[in-house]
Structure formats: C-alpha cells, structure tokens
Structure 1
C-alpha cells in the first residue's frame, strides 16, 4: 500500500466514479483501475462494488475513508513542513466555511493571510451546518473550518479559536415601510413574509425560535443557496434574517439593514484538528488570532 493508491481511492470516492477521478487526477482510467486493484489485493478486500459503469463503496471501502484521509493529510503536512523553510512561498490551504461566515470574517481573514503569504492558495469548501464543518476538519477533508453556532463552540473533537459574535439583522428591500428605521423588535415581524435558510443552520434556528415565541410570520421561500437571499430581498419577495456579516454587502447593494431587538447573536469559531497542522494552517490561525474580535 502506498499514498498514491490512497489518493486514487479518495479521488474515486469524492468524484463518484473512476472516469471522473481519472480526469481530475490527469491519469488514464486503466492506470487508476490497476492501482485500485493492487490496493484491494494488499488489503485483501474489495473496496467497490462495480455495477456496470457505476461503483458503490463496500463496507471495507467505507471503513477505509477516514484513515486514508488521515494518512494523505499527514503526508501533506510533512511535505508542507519541509516547504516551510521557503517561507510559505507556495502551497494550498483547504478551509470549510458556512455561507454567512464566508462573507465575513472569512473575507477579511483570507485578505490578511494572502497579504503575508501570496503564494498560498486558499480553497474554500461550502458547508451548511456547524456539525458538518467540525466533521470535515476531524476527518481531514479540510484543515480548517469556520462555523457559527447558537450554543457553545465545539471543543472536544477539534481545537477552536473564538472569533467573537455576529448578531442577527433584518434585510429589507428599498421602499419597505421598515426602510427608514435603524432597528425593530422581533414581534414586528408578525404578518411579514420571510426568506429563510434550510433546517440545521443558525439563521433557520433563530427564525424558528421567533415562531415558537408567537411571532406569526409566513415563509416566502426556503433557500439553501445563501447567495440568492439578497437578490430575492431586493426583488421584493420578502424580508430576510441574516447575520451582521451581510451588513456592508447588503447596504452597498441597496438594501436596508435593521438591528433586531432584543439582540441575539451566534458564536463564531475557527476550528482545526488537534495535533500538528501544516505551516499554512498554522499561519492562517495566527492571522485569525491577531485579527479576532474581542469575545
């Protein structure tokens, strides 16, 4: 067994098939298949059920995913550690982020990090729940994760850097009766149409809590793609509760942004795996620590 075989195996898992994995890896499909067959012989077990052109993971294949990711990530860390003598002139850093936090603070963090290390490419993976961010970091899919949670920040499975809090605000289209105001009470959302996120997100949990408190709003749309929220607000479909990270972007686009009273906020954290991380991840954590808002 070697790292190349594990990388090929993970590419098939992540891309969903041999042909797409071969294209992504820039290798021939027969070479990829041969490497996987050799890996299966070494392990003494089939990793995939081959059904026509489709492949489905076997139980052994599913069991291999997490240790394979850990092994590949460890090798990447070792390679990056050697490259660190060159002051991070090149490299790549994988980060998972929930959508609102990809607006802020991720924009500021990447900007500050890239100023110091312009040769390191930051690749951002979209993840929609705090649990999924933690799992992506824990299993080695990414090195760092940016999440928001109404409860305590995770601290058992991963290491966490507290980046402060983001309060909930209301996006309002031009011409709306709320438009000339700086704030409103949550009760004033009764009778209004809201654009909401999918279940499992902090935004959705907050809106659902308002309904539990007797705020009788209606749902205009349930959106998984957070990038569509602001355009839908500007189009007049409804109002949207988002985090304060959207304030500047929404204001520049022409929407009004109102504080919701009483103030309710999410905790923002940058998580990393416990143990050694690559020099790029360590540098990013140091950047985040230097720019973190006071708790």
Structure 2
C-alpha cells in the first residue's frame, strides 16, 4: 500500500466514479483501476462494487475513507512542514464554510491571509450545516471550517476559535414599503412571502422558529444556491432573512437591509482538527485570531 493508492481511492469516492476521478487526477482510467486493484489486493478486500459504470463502496471501502483521509492529510502536513522553510511561498489550504459565513468573515480572512501569503491557494468547499463542517474537519477532508450555530460552538471533536456573532436581518427590494425603515418586529413578517434556505441550515431554523411562534409568513422559494438569493429579492420574488454578513453586499447590490427585532444571533467560529496542522492552516488561524482580537 502506498499513499498514491489512497489518493486514487479518495478521488473515486469524492468524484463518484472511476472515469471522473481519472479526469480529475489526469491519469488514464486503466492506470487508476490497476492502482485500486493493487490496493484491494494488499488489503485483502474489495473496496468497490463495479455496477456498470458506477462504483459503489463496499463496507470495507466505507471503513477505509476516514483512515485514508487521515493518512493523506498527515503526508500533506509533513510535506508542508518541509515547505515552511520557504516561508509559505506555495501550497494549498482547504477550508469548508457555510454559505453566509463564506460572505463574511471568510472574505476578510482570505483577503488578509492572501496579502501575507499570496502563493498559497485557498480552496473553499461549500457545506450547509455546522455538523457538515465539523465532519469535514474531523475526517481530514479539509483542515479548517467556518461555521455558525444558534447554541454554543462545537468543542468536543475539533478545536474552535470564536469569531463573534451575527444577527439576523431582512433583505427587501428598494421599491418595497419596508425599504424606508431601519428595522421591524419579527411579527410583521406575517403575510409576507419569504425566500428560505433548505432544512438544516441556520437561516431555515430561524424562520421555522418564527412560524412556530405564530408568525404566518408564506414560503415563496426554498433555495440551496445562495448566489441566487439577492437576485430573487431584487426581482420581487420575496423577502429574505439572512445573517448580517450579507449587509454590505446587499447594499452594494441595491437591496435594503432591516434589523429584525428582537435581535437573534448566531455564534460564528473557525474550527480545526486536533493535532498538528500544516503551516498554511496555522498561519490562517493566526490571521483569524488577529481579526478576532481587533474587534
């Protein structure tokens, strides 16, 4: 067994098949298949069921995912530690982020980090719940994760750096009657059409809690692609409850932003796996600590 075989195995898992993995790795499919067969021979167990063009994980394959990610990540850490003598001139940092936190504070953090280390590529993976962020960090799929949650930040499975809080606000188009106001009571959302996120997200949990309290709004659109959120608001499809990380972007796009009273907040944090980190991840954490302490 060698690390290349594990990297090939994970590429098939992440890509969903041999053909797409071969394309992503810039290797021929026969070479990829041969490497996986060699890995299966070393382990004494099949890792995939080959069903036509599909590759379905066996129980053994599922059991291998987490240790394989840990092994690959450990090698990356070792390589990056050697590269650190080059003062982070090159490299890659993988981060998972929930959508609203990818607007802020991620934008400011990546800006400051990239100013100090322009040769390091920051790759951001989109996830939608705090649980998904923790799992991505814990299993080694990424090194760092940016999340927000209504309760305490997670600390059992990962290390956590608190970055502050974000309150919920309302986005409205400029021609709406509410656009003249600075704030509104949450009860005033009754009868309004809202654009909501998919179940499991912080945005959806908040509006669902309003509904449980008797705020009888209508769901205009349930959306997973947050990039369409502002265009939908500006097109008059509905109003959107988001975190205040959207405030500056919404203003620049022409939408109006109202505070929702009483204020309800999410706790925002940057999580990392326990144990040694690559120099790039350590440097990014240092950037985040400086940002948090300056507030």
Pair in the same fold by TM > 0.5: yes
Task: Compute the displacement of 1:134 (Å).
Answer: 0.4
Runs of 4+ in 1 over 3 A off after TM superposition: none
- Helix, strand or coil at the partner of 1:292: helix
Closer, same or farther in 2 for the Cα pair 1:101/1:24, shift >3 Å? same
Distance 2:37 2:243 in 1: 49
Instruction: Judge conservation of contact 1:164–1:293 (CA < 8 Å) in 2.
Output: no
What corresponds to 1:76 in structure 2? 76
Partner of 2:281: 281
**SS in structure 2 of the partner of residue 67 of structure 1:** helix
Distance 1:209 1:109 in 2: 31
2:74 & 2:283 partners in 1: Cα distance?
17
Native 8 Å contact 1:129 1:201 kept in 2: yes
Judging changes above 3 Å, is the alpha-carbon distance between structure 1 residues 16 and 152 closer, same or farther for their aligned structure 2 residues? same
Q: How far, CA to CA, are the matches of 2:176 and 2:24 in structure 1?
A: 48
Q: Which residue pairs with 2:290 in the alignment?
A: 290
Q: Give the unaligned 5+ runs of structure 2.
A: none
Q: SS of the counterpart of 2:89?
A: coil
Compute the displacement of 1:27 (Å). 1.2
Q: Deviations over 1:1-24 (max 9, x none)?
A: 110010011111111111111111
How far, CA to CA, are the matches of 2:110 and 2:27 in structure 1? 32
Counterpart of 2:228? 228
Q: Does 1:101 align with 2:63?
A: no
Aligned twin of 1:194? 194
1:44 maps to which residue? 44
Conserved? CA contact 1:92–1:280, under 8 Å: yes
Deviation at 1:212, TM superposition (A): 1.0
Could you say what secondary structure the match of 2:231 adopts? helix
Tell me whether 1:161 sits opposite 2:161 in the alignment.
yes
Question: Paired residue for 2:178?
Answer: 178
Q: Kindly indicate whether the alpha-carbon contact (under 8 Å) linking 1:164 and 1:294 is maintained by their aligned counterparts in 2.
A: no
CA deviation map 1:112-153 (0-9, x unaligned): 000000000000000000000000000000000000100110
Mapped to 2, the partners of 1:21 and 1:189 lie a distance apart of 47
Within-5 A mapping of 1:129-148:
129-148=129-148
Q: d(CA) in 2 for partners of 1:190 and 1:22?
A: 52
In structure 1, C-alpha distance between the alignment counterparts of 2:52 and 2:179, rounded to whole Å: 58
How many angstroms apart in 2 are the aligned matches of 1:106 and 1:112?
10
1:29 matched residue in structure 2? 29
* Number of positions where the alignment pairs a residue of Structure 1 with one of Structure 2: 295
1:55-70 correspondence runs (5 A): 55-70=55-70
Write the mapping of 1:236-251 to structure 2, written as runs, cut at 5 A: 236-251=236-251
TM-score, length-scaled by structure 2: 0.98
Match for residue 90 of structure 1?
A: 90
- Once the 2 structures are TM-superposed, how far is the Cα of residue 30 of structure 1 from its aligned partner? 1.3
How far residue 166 of structure 1 moved from its aligned partner, in angstroms, is: 0.3
TM-score for the superposition, normalised by structure 1: 0.98
Identify the range of structure 1 (252-261 vs 14-23) with the bigger mean alpha-carbon deviation.
14-23
Q: 2 CA distance for matches of 1:64 and 1:294?
A: 42
Q: Distance in 1 between matches of 2:122 and 2:166?
A: 23
- Report the counterpart of residue 54 of structure 1 in structure 2: 54
Rounded to whole Å, the distance in 2 between the matches of 1:156 and 1:34 is 40
Cα contact 1:196–1:222 (8 A) shared by 2: yes
RMSD: 1.0
* Whole-angstrom distance in 1 between the partners of 2:52 and 2:237: 46
Distance (Å, rounded) in 2 between the aligned partners of 1:4 and 1:292: 39
Distance 1:201 1:58 in 2: 31
Counterpart contact for 1:174–1:254, Cα < 8 Å: yes
